[in-house]
Amino acid sequence: MSEPVPSVIEFYSVTSDYGCFSNFSRHSIHLKGKRWPTTEHYFQAQKFAGTEHEEAVRMCKKPSEAANMGRSRKLPLRRDWESAKDRIMMDALRAKFTQHEDLKAILLGTGDAKLVEHTENDSYWADGGDGTGKNRLGQLLMQLRTELRAAEK
């Protein structure tokens, strides 16, 4: 008998049970005609879409390096970033969970559990560590799970 799915699944570290939900997990995606080492690389690079910085972020060796480059305000952030970032994150997640069947199965296997990126390091994409954050990454994963389920019917 399989273990019951918990009602809330928290993720953050790539080495934890649901580490594949992290944007740092080493699952490459193909978007915009290119291979991106992680969804973090893609997401951070899109802050500079159409500039040389986009490719520089894509070429970073580690997702943490891509994140640091993307968070640097020394580079010019695209003007529409705040309005575009959720759509860009969803594009990256959709690519990841449709291009990797094993990850899709893990996501669908979460049933109706609430997915929460649990860290005090982020109060937009995660829960802020205490539940006060927006948990947008978790929300987008749950939305994607609903889409994938509907597509399988």
End-to-end CA distance of the chain: 25
pLDDT-derived band at 94, boundaries 50, 70, 90: very high
Coil, helix or strand for 34?
strand
> pLDDT tens across 39-52, in order?
999 999 999 999 99
Question: And the tokens for 94?
Answer: 């959709």
Q: Cα dihedral sign for 77, 30, 142, 130?
A: negative
pTM metric for this prediction = 0.95
Positive or negative CA dihedral for 125, 11, 147, 139? Answer: negative
pLDDT mean across residues, the chain: 96
Q: How far apart are CA 86 and CA 43, in angstroms?
A: 10
Q: Is 116 helix (H, G, I), strand (E, B) or coil?
A: strand
Mean pLDDT across 77-93: 97
In this prediction, residues 25-32 reach a mean pLDDT of: 98
pLDDT at 5: 78
| Res. 80: pLDDT tops 60 | yes
Asked whether the beta carbons of 49 and 91 are under 8 A apart, the reply is no
105-122 confidence digits (pLDDT tens): 999 999 999 999 999 999
- How many C-beta atoms surround the C-beta of residue 147 within 10 A? 14
Higher pLDDT, 12 or 153: 12
Residue-level pLDDT at 4 = 78
Residue 122 is predicted with a pLDDT of 95
**Could you give the percent of the chain with pLDDT greater than 90?**
93
Q: Residue type at 43? A: F
Q: Which CATH architecture has domain 8-152?
A: Orthogonal Bundle (1.10)
Beta strands (DSSP E) in 1-109 are 8-11, 29-31, 34-36
Say if residue 2's pLDDT is above 70: no
